A = this chain, B = another copy of it.
Amino acid sequence: MTQLLIIGGSDAGISAALRAREVEPSVDVTVVVADAFPNYSICGLPFYVSGEVSDWRGLAHRTVNEIESKGIRLLLNHTATAIDPAKKNVEVVDKSGQKQNLLYDHLVIATGASPVRPQIVGLDLPGVYLLHTMEDSFRVHQHVNETNPKTATIIGAGYIGLEMADAFRHRGMQVTLIVRSEVLRSTVDASMARVVEDELHRHDVEVIKQVDVESIRRDGSRVMVSGSNGFRKSADLVLMALGVRPSSGLAARAGILTGARGAIRVNREMATNLRDIYAAGDCVETWHRVARQNTYLPLGTTAHKQGRIAGENAVGGHRPFAGSLGTQVVKVFDLAVARTGLREDEAQAAGFTPFSHEIKVWDHKAYYPGAHELLIRVTGDRRNGRLLGAQMVGHWQAEVAKRIDVFATALFHAMNVEELNDLDLSYTPPVSSPWDPVQMSAQDWVNAKERNIG
């Protein structure tokens, strides 16, 4: 019987396992999982810490039973320590140090990513946390529940940083958010980021910019963060949220090539340079459909897609990965902040001639109660009018996420901005306008570009 071995039991690994069994029911599938929590929703961790999700078991996309019922063997609490591509063998070790060798016919590497740890002292002090695994979230959750902290300092304003600011405020804590840059960029352009910063202020989050964190030290029962320009702040709890980097060491040691940001290099079929070895998810390079180049874009949605493709191809398929558009959304208090495609600076770097234009527009006919303002930023190519990206900020129940998805679907098909007006989108006064806000922003972009050139 053909042996498919998968290293990693998060989104990409489990997607690969499920898809392999779906297209090739005779294949024997084993997934090596580093902890006891396969297929958990990492994106859900902030909502567990906030208390909005009361039972952590709810964070499982699927239970162990559901996965095993698909004929998938889970090797929990095992870590892969070496791959021998010549012998088609993977060495794994359990928590007691017991080693085991697993032979494979086809291998999928889905080792994910690990949090960036800056080169400073104090990261391992009690009261200093990362949030990447279930274990991490148990630790933070326990700290919050047992010691009832009043204050938290968050370092970094990526998605985890922003969501955790929301989560700690939800717990009634005072929150300080520290970023290195001049603007709170998150992943959108400065003008949109200002709206996010306003939302943080509106919810009493203290935002401190242009601080390089230099050390973390105990300060009595608290933890003190020190940084550039004499910055000092003590809090009951510190959360590091500086993003992630690919966990590609295991692969690299086996002779697998890496590329952007050290991520595993794969072709469009998610195959590595070594025969019968595929890779997917946060540990690999991702083909960007608009930029037409490999990038590092670790996202759960992409991990699911790439895993599904790696699983299908590892058992004989030849499905190509269609590429990422970098589509993403985050909820920050009452706002949804969403984007797809390239920001202006990214478009420039990718060789386009970007022109960006922003409008404020109601999410639905203003005469119907509950209308919210959306800020929409469209980036297109000045030369040929091609859509390159869109960003949107607005109330999280104003269909921001799925409006960005209309842009994403348009981008997938390389549409021109002007062509968005040809789309037949749905309308009723409580949810939209006869021209959807997506189309109003497109019309405004075209007019602005013409004024700007002419």
Contacts and interface: CB of A to CB of B under 8 A. Distances in A.
Interface of A: 11, 22, 41, 43-44, 47, 52-53, 58-59, 61, 159, 289, 299-305, 308, 322-331, 336, 338, 340, 365-369, 396-397, 399, 401-406, 408-410, 412-413, 419, 421-432, 434-436, 447
A47 B396 CA distance: 24
B399 A340 contact: no
List the 3 shortest-distance A-B pairs measured between CB atoms, nearest first.
A402-B402, A322-B422, A58-B367
Contact of A401 (B41, B289, B426): B426
B421 A308 contact: yes
Given A44-B368, A405-B425, 4 more contacts: A301-B425, A305-B421, A329-B432, A399-B402
Contacts of A43: 427-429, 434
Per assembly, the copies of the chain total 2
A301 to B, nearest CB: 5
A321 to B, nearest CB: 8
A367 B325 contact: no
Contact of A426 (B366, B404, B419): B404
Contacts of A447: 22
A367 B11 CA distance: 17
B322 A432 contact: no
A329 B324 CA distance: 30
A424 B340 contact: yes
Contact of A301 (B47, B326, B368, B434): B434
Nearest to A414: B413
A427 B410 CA distance: 17
B430 A367 contact: no
A431 B325 contact: no
A432 B401 contact: yes
